[in-house]
């Protein structure tokens, strides 16, 4: 009889996830079967659960910030040994042959597949992953600490790279990605300005403790113009506000996979060679660099731990903005 596991699955967008017993998946060629030790709860999971990002198939096991140990290997899987600790990110695979893949921009591959969207993710006791898109986890991080790095960290780092050498950096949305990027930027001796939900004194205090030079509401003007703005909150109305806060030649980087519509704004906000651009997914290079930079900078993700059976509560807390840092599911934790 085939072994079974506990998984939390989405059956219908807009409804709660269901905890149920399902067969343990079997690794195919080049794949790993991982015993899940921790899985971050990302805002993208929330977009999928709420139907803002359509899943190609249902039911689906969400989750794409997976830390696990190799339980078994499929044919030809040789990169990781049994028992080794690895991380699984949002990017689950790419074709490797298109011009984007050949140019090192696999994040733009038209045939890219994503963990917790195109294939089952980590809200379960076991998960399957293509070993070519997995990462060794640095010893500096416990399982729960490493999980948020695998998306919030990776995407945040890609957004930070797009900010170039900006010395005054604005971060709009001080959640999982924002608080990781802020620690890196402070380590790089940048001046960080944190923009939070209006009246969120707890988030502003959190940002101050991480070394941000100024913290205020997202609708407020910073004390001086910023060189770049990273927008992690999925709110299109922040784009004109960020443009208004920019120095000449500055850029706004929209880092979410989903964002509400950007309202019309006067051309005057864009003049002076200001620009707006987006981040699409991640590359394996982003992951390798972030894990090295985070360890060197002493990044410590703040997190709230939840049992696997508490996945709906974690999503609800994330939706309400009630989490400081990141939410992480720990399958071995009691509810």
Q: What is the CATH number of the domain that holds 26?
A: 3.90.180.10
For residues 146 and 80, membership in a common domain is answered with yes
Mean per-residue pLDDT over the chain, rounded: 96
For 146-157, what is the mean pLDDT? 97
For residues 132 and 158, membership in a common domain is answered with no
In a domain, 113, yes or no: yes
pLDDT in tens, 67-119: 999 999 999 999 999 999 999 999 999 999 999 999 999 999 999 999 999 99
For residues 26 and 102, membership in a common domain is answered with yes
For residues 147 and 178, membership in a common domain is answered with no
Task: Look at residue 255 and tell me whether its pLDDT is greater than 60.
Answer: yes
In a domain, 335, yes or no: no
Beta-strand pair 214-217/275-278? unpaired
Give me the percent of the chain exceeding a pLDDT of 90: 96
Domain count, the chain: 2
The token pair that represents 34 in the structure block: 């991982």
86 upstream amide cis, omega within 30 of 0: no
Are 80 and 134 in contact, with CB atoms under 8 Å apart? yes
Domain boundary pick from 242, 262, 278 = 278
Domain boundary pick from 261, 278, 295 = 278
Rounded to the nearest angstrom, the gap between the alpha carbon of residue 133 and the centroid of all alpha carbons in its chain is 15
- How confident is the model at residue 333, as a pLDDT? 78
For residues 287 and 274, membership in a common domain is answered with no
For residues 131 and 11, membership in a common domain is answered with yes
Phi, psi (deg, nearest 5) at residue 183: -65, -40
Please state, in angstroms and rounded to a whole number, the distance separating the CA atoms of residues 205 and 212.
Answer: 10
User: 298 in the Ramachandran plot: left (φ > 0), alpha (ψ -120 to 50) or beta?
Assistant: left
Q: What size, in residues, is the chain? A: 335
In a domain, 291, yes or no: yes
In a domain, 318, yes or no: yes
Domain hosting 182: range is: 154-278
Q: Which residues make beta-bridge pairs with 114?
A: 91
In a domain, 324, yes or no: yes
For residues 247 and 307, membership in a common domain is answered with no
In a domain, 86, yes or no: yes
For residues 35 and 97, membership in a common domain is answered with yes
For residues 231 and 323, membership in a common domain is answered with no
For residues 145 and 286, membership in a common domain is answered with yes
For residues 237 and 292, membership in a common domain is answered with no
- How confident is the model at residue 266, as a pLDDT? 97
Domain boundary pick from 236, 253, 278 = 278
Confidence label for 335 from pLDDT (cuts 50, 70 and 90): low
Task: Look at residue 232 and tell me whether its pLDDT is greater than 60.
Answer: yes
For 142-171, what is the mean pLDDT? 97
Contacts 24+ apart (CB under 8 A), 51-54: 51/13, 51/14, 52/258, 53/117, 53/257, 53/258, 54/13
Please state, in angstroms and rounded to a whole number, the distance separating the CA atoms of residues 121 and 126.
Answer: 9
- How confident is the model at residue 199, as a pLDDT? 87
- How confident is the model at residue 332, as a pLDDT? 82
In a domain, 59, yes or no: yes
Task: Look at residue 1 and tell me whether its pLDDT is greater than 60.
Answer: no
- C-alpha angle with apex 261: 152 to 154, nearest 5 degrees? 15
In a domain, 244, yes or no: yes
For residues 66 and 136, membership in a common domain is answered with yes
For residue 195, give the CATH number of its domain.
3.40.50.720
Task: Look at residue 323 and tell me whether its pLDDT is greater than 80.
Answer: yes
For 138-161, what is the mean pLDDT? 96
Task: Look at residue 39 and tell me whether its pLDDT is greater than 60.
Answer: yes
């Amino acid at each position: 009889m085939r072994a079974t596991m506990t998984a939390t699955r989405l059956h219908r967008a807009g409804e709660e996830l269901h905890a149920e017993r399902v067969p343990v998946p079997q690794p195919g060629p080049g794949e790993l079967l991982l015993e899940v030790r921790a899985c971050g709860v990302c805002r993208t999971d929330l977009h999928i659960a709420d139907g803002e990002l359509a899943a190609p198939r249902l039911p689906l096991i969400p989750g794409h910030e997976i830390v696990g140990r190799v339980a078994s290997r499929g044919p030809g899987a040789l990169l990781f040994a049994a028992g080794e600790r690895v991380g699984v990110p949002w990017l689950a695979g790419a074709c490797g042959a298109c011009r984007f893949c050949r140019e090192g921009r696999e994040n733009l591959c038209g045939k890219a597949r994503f963990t917790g969207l195109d294939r089952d993710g980590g809200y379960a006791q076991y998960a399957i992953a293509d070993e070519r898109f997995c990462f060794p986890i640095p010893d500096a991080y416990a399982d729960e600490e490493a999980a948020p790095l695998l998306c919030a960290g990776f995407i945040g780092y890609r957004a930070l790279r797009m900010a170039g050498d900006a010395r005054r950096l604005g971060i709009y949305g001080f959640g999982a990605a924002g608080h990781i990027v802020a620690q890196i930027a402070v380590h790089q001796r940048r001046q960080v300005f944190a923009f939070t939900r209006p009246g969120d004194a707890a988030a502003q205090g959190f940002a101050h403790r991480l070394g941000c030079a100024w913290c205020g509401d997202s609708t407020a003007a910073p004390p001086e113009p910023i060189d770049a703005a990273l927008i992690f909150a999925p709110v299109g109305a922040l784009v004109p506000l960020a443009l208004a806060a920019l120095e000449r030649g500055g850029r706004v980087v929209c880092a979410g996979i989903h964002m509400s519509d950007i309202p019309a704004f006067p051309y005057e906000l864009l003049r002076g060679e200001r620009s707006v651009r987006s981040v699409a997914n991640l590359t394996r290079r982003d992951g390798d660099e972030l894990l090295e930079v985070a360890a060197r900078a002493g990044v410590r993700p703040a997190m709230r731990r939840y049992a696997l059976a508490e996945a709906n509560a974690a999503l609800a807390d994330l939706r309400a903005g009630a989490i400081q840092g990141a939410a992480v599911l720990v399958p071995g934790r009691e509810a």
